[in-house]
Amino acid sequence: MMENIACHPLPPIESRGHRPGCPVPLAHKILLIFTVAGTALFAVACGGQQVGELQRQSHSVDVQQARSVRTDLEIGAGELNLTGGADRLMEADFAYNVADWEPEVNYQVSGDTGDLSVQQGQGDGPSITGDARNEWNIRLNDEVPTAISVQMGAGESDLDLDSLTLTRLDLEMGAGRTTIDLTGAYDQDLVASIQGGVGRATVLLPSEVGVRAEARGGLGQINAEGLQKEGDVYVNDAYGDSEVTLDVDIQGGVGQINLEVV
């Protein structure tokens, strides 16, 4: 479970080893960006809202006549656990103690395509006075082809997607830690787009499916375990031999991204 979120300012760079008047090393510059961006995200997520009693809700959504689904998840602050195994299209449990963060669940079907969205509620009020909790546990159906878009703010997320019939993934990281499991057995090519933030992401990749990962821009660090670098891209041993390819497109931020073949 994610540690309780609190809005506390971080100490200035000078208090962490830098002497005023001296040039700021690159690592400290990156840390400064990390601090400012992270603080801003927490301010947006926490400011102007008030902690209350812990509320719990459960939601379920039927697929209806849809043959494929686009799923959009937006959480500004908190913990997101996303996995498969749902009997319906979605089965979800939510816990939060900021009333304005009550999740908004919407589902519409047009033709044979469904659009599912889960968004963190917003609101105005007095400044937050304690520790906030916002926990989403969402299960999706394994059989329905699903394109997933996730926008994370400040917090932690565990995206266990290996059992899903995934057709696309778009992830926008914020400030926090994220684990993405893409080790599924794919019947068709898959594109996973990851926009780095100021946190740390670990991406688990399959060994039996060809993987091609390209990283561009940003000031962060990218570690590739079980991949070989060919020019500007990283590939695994199965790349070029398997019938399908997992394409991972990474737009770097100021955090760390770990690619691991398992």
Helix (H, G, I), strand (E, B) or coil at 89: coil
Element housing 214 (H / E)? strand 210-216
C-alpha Rg value of the chain to the nearest Å: 20
| Confidence class for position 106, pLDDT limits 50, 70, 90 | very high
CB of 189 within 8 A of CB of 165? no
pLDDT for the residue numbered 68: 98
pLDDT digits (tens, 9 = 90+) for 203-252: 999 999 999 999 876 777 889 999 999 988 999 999 999 999 999 999 87
Please tell me which of 48-52, 129-133, 158-162 the model is most confident about, judged by mean pLDDT: 158-162
Arithmetic mean of pLDDT, 127-140 = 82
pLDDT for the residue numbered 44: 44
Mean pLDDT, the chain, whole residue set: 84
- List, as own/partner pairs, every contact residues 183-189 make where C-beta atoms lie below 8 angstroms and the sequence separation is at least 24, other chains included: 183/262, 185/209, 186/244, 186/246, 187/244, 188/244, 189/244, 189/245, 189/246, 189/247
pLDDT for the residue numbered 130: 59
Arithmetic mean of pLDDT, 76-91 = 97
Element housing 28 (H / E)? helix 26-46
∠ Cα 30 37 196 (to 5°): 70
Show the tokens assigned to 228: 């070989």
Helix (H, G, I), strand (E, B) or coil at 10: coil
- The full set of domain ranges for the chain reads 1-166, 173-262
Show the tokens assigned to 65: 């006549």
pLDDT for the residue numbered 45: 47
The pair phi, psi for residue 42, each rounded to 5°, is -65, -35
Q: Give CA–CA dist 202/258, Å, rounded.
A: 5
Helix (H, G, I), strand (E, B) or coil at 179: strand
